[in-house]
Amino acid sequence: MKKVYESAAKALDGLLFDGMTIMAGGFGLCGIPENLIAAIRDAGVRNLTVISNNAGVDDFGLGLLLQTRQIRKMISSYVGENKLFEAQFLSGQLELEFNPQGTLAERIRAAGAGIPAFYTRTGVGTVIAKGKELKEFDGETCVMETALKADLAIVLAWKGDKKGNLVYRKTARNFNPMMAAAGKVTVAEVENLVEAGELDADCIHTPGVFVQRIFEGKLEKRIEHTTTRKKEG
């Protein structure tokens, strides 16, 4: 079966529909599937629920889908960097569900691993645990959290082969591996598409079974906060 597509738009062909749930990899602007986000904007699907740790910035990343008001609901852990988000949220146009970052990661991991729910200490005694089942383990109260699935997962990897095996680079890995496993369909955008056999099989982060479609994207890779020091001596 052929997994390789020519472009983001072609890789998404037939997968998008109004009201769908999409999970998008990345932490801030690091490790985001830039071209897939832009292609979703161009496709114009609306009423989206988007699962992503953050919401991009005003004019980049998921901010693009906020500009066009394609997102109805965000499931995230932190959205501080986005003024557009704030405006749409405060005016009631955008729904928001906060998850503790580790709970978000684990809910996504659980979905990919076929685990419907799990218990965690995180959030017990806070608004996060409101209305959720509590249970005691070894004398400690834990809250039940459920798996978080999506119709489509869009992820970014540094290298990928034509069988869908993926390798991430540095902190651009973040949520991408769990999302790749949790999508009903997963589309991977890769910086470098290589032949099967070119990646070290011992060093593959996401095995190809989790990836249905793959394409090579040219990335801007914008940096959110450039912080440096002077060379010593």
Which residues here bind another protein, judged by CB under 8 A?
A: 27-31, 53, 76-81, 86, 89-90, 98, 100-106, 108-109, 120-128, 158, 168-178, 205, 221-231
Nearer to another protein by Cβ, of 196 and 223: the residue is: 223
12, 70, 158 from 225: Cα distances, Å: 31, 27, 21
Q: Are strands 21-24 and 150-161 parallel, antiparallel or unpaired?
A: parallel
Least distance in Å: CB of 178 to another protein? 5
Q: Judging by beta carbons within 10 Å of its beta carbon (0-12, 13-18, 19+), is residue 89 exposed, middle or buried?
A: middle
Reduce the DSSP state of residue 104 to 3 states and report it. Answer: helix
Least distance in Å: CB of 182 to another protein? 11
7, 77, 104, 202, 220 from 175: Cα distances, Å: 23, 12, 9, 21, 20
- Phi/psi of residue 50, nearest 5 degrees: -115, 125
Nearer to another protein by Cβ, of 6 and 220: the residue is: 220
Q: In terms of Cα–Cα distance, which of 48, 22, 39, 179 is closest to 108? A: 179
Nearer to another protein by Cβ, of 28 and 160: the residue is: 28
Nearer to another protein by Cβ, of 46 and 205: the residue is: 205
Nearer to another protein by Cβ, of 16 and 120: the residue is: 120
